[in-house]
Amino acid sequence: MDGLILHAYDASPFTQKALKMLAIKGVRYGFVETPMIAPKPELEVFTGGYRGTPVLQDGADIYVDNVRIAAALDAYAADPPLTGDAVDDAAAVLWGEQFFEAGLHMAIDAFSEDWEPAFTKDRKAVFARLDFETVREKSDQARALLRVHATRVDRQLSDGRAFLRGKAVSMTDLHAWAVFWFARAAFPESGKLLGDLMWLPEWEARVAVHGEGTRQHSDADAAQNLARACEPTAPLSIDTEDPLGLHGGQAVTVAPTFSDRGTSHGTLAGLDAEQIVIAVTNDTVGTVHVHFPRLGYRVERAT
């Protein structure tokens, strides 16, 4: 992996997961700061329209979502592994999203009245499953749910293990740690809410100590120049038994299943149980391959 660049912004807990992954793997990377809300044209030229972050660029290969970023980093350096059993990893992602949504409910309740209208509109689209109008009346339920998830983490650590899956840090730790990072920074009440959970603080410190790795400031121009100078990975296999009946080179769209982070347009370069890969071509970046997780994203024939 030469020429790694992370496209993201630091205030996002999802970015914090990616930073930890890069640090754990010990790789150097550039960092291109993206806007917090749409439009994000300098990112969308890489993704074909998707505007969520973080996005990891490896030359002319673009990895969308922390699920694909983790898999790409594990393919590059197997030890220490971030991922494990396929079903356990998928379950951890879904659990992490539920855990995060509890914290997100709390944030909307606490801060949304002070948000700029453009930011509110963007977040309503991104988190389309949440009813922003009723979040206040559900705030106690959100606090209770955050504590329920936190208590489960604490109990799993109570046998003395260093990390949630044992001796080594994994994506399960990062899914959970990012919520605590977010909650403790944003909500003063978190100290009281989590104060009696005795195993959490040392575990949080063990995850946090990995830092953010070795990053250097970069910019969109440098990232675009790198993409144009590189060739993407060879087209991957297409699952011919997939019920969608798609084939290589076909014009397709890819979008998140449960949110509005933009729709990507390209031609199909790979499809299996783990990922969707599309080729995106434009004058700004040349041709890149954009890798999406299969779960949480839908691919369709372009109309």
- Looking at residue 227, the DSSP 8-state letter turns out to be H
Domain final residue pick, 150, 177, 208: 208
Q: Are residues 229 and 116 in the same domain?
A: no
Please tell me the predicted confidence (pLDDT) of residue 1. 53
- Based on the structure, what is the number of domains in the chain? 2
Q: Are residues 101 and 193 in the same domain?
A: yes
Domain final residue pick, 208, 231, 248: 208
Q: Are residues 230 and 195 in the same domain?
A: no
- Maximum separation of any 2 CA atoms in the chain, in Å: 56
3-state DSSP percent of the chain in helix, strand and coil, to 5: 45, 20, 35
pLDDT, one tens digit per residue, over 193-202 is 999 999 999 9
The parent domain of residue 166 ranges over 86-208
Q: How many helices (H) and strands (E) does the chain have?
A: 10, 10
Please tell me the predicted confidence (pLDDT) of residue 188. 80
Residue 297, phi then psi, degrees to nearest 5:
-135, 150
Q: Are residues 34 and 180 in the same domain?
A: no
Residue 236, phi then psi, degrees to nearest 5:
-90, 175
Residue 242, phi then psi, degrees to nearest 5:
-65, 135
Q: Are strands 55-58 and 61-64 parallel, antiparallel or unpaired?
A: antiparallel
Q: How many of the other CB atoms lie within 10 Å of CB of 170?
A: 21
Q: How many of the other CB atoms lie within 10 Å of CB of 296?
A: 16
Residue 4, phi then psi, degrees to nearest 5:
-75, 135
Q: Are residues 95 and 187 in the same domain?
A: yes
Which regions in the chain score pLDDT beneath 70? 1-2
Separation of alpha carbons 75 and 129, rounded Å: 33
Tally the C-alpha atoms within 13 A of residue 160's C-alpha that lie toward its C-beta. Answer: 0
Q: Are residues 130 and 203 in the same domain?
A: yes
Residue 101, phi then psi, degrees to nearest 5:
-60, -30
Q: Are residues 75 and 222 in the same domain?
A: yes
Residue 264, phi then psi, degrees to nearest 5:
-95, 145
Q: What is the pTM of this model?
A: 0.94
Backbone CA torsion sign across 17, 20, 25, 26: positive
User: What's the CATH code of the domain at 14?
Assistant: 3.40.30.110
Separation of alpha carbons 42 and 34, rounded Å: 8
CA distances from 165 to 17, 82, 151, 161, 261 (A): 17, 11, 16, 8, 31
Q: Are residues 113 and 32 in the same domain?
A: no
Q: Are residues 196 and 220 in the same domain?
A: no
pLDDT, one tens digit per residue, over 148-207 is 999 999 999 999 999 999 999 999 999 999 999 999 888 888 888 999 999 999 999 999
Q: How far is C-alpha 160 from the geometric centre of its chain's CA atoms?
A: 29
User: What's the CATH code of the domain at 203?
Assistant: 1.20.1050.10
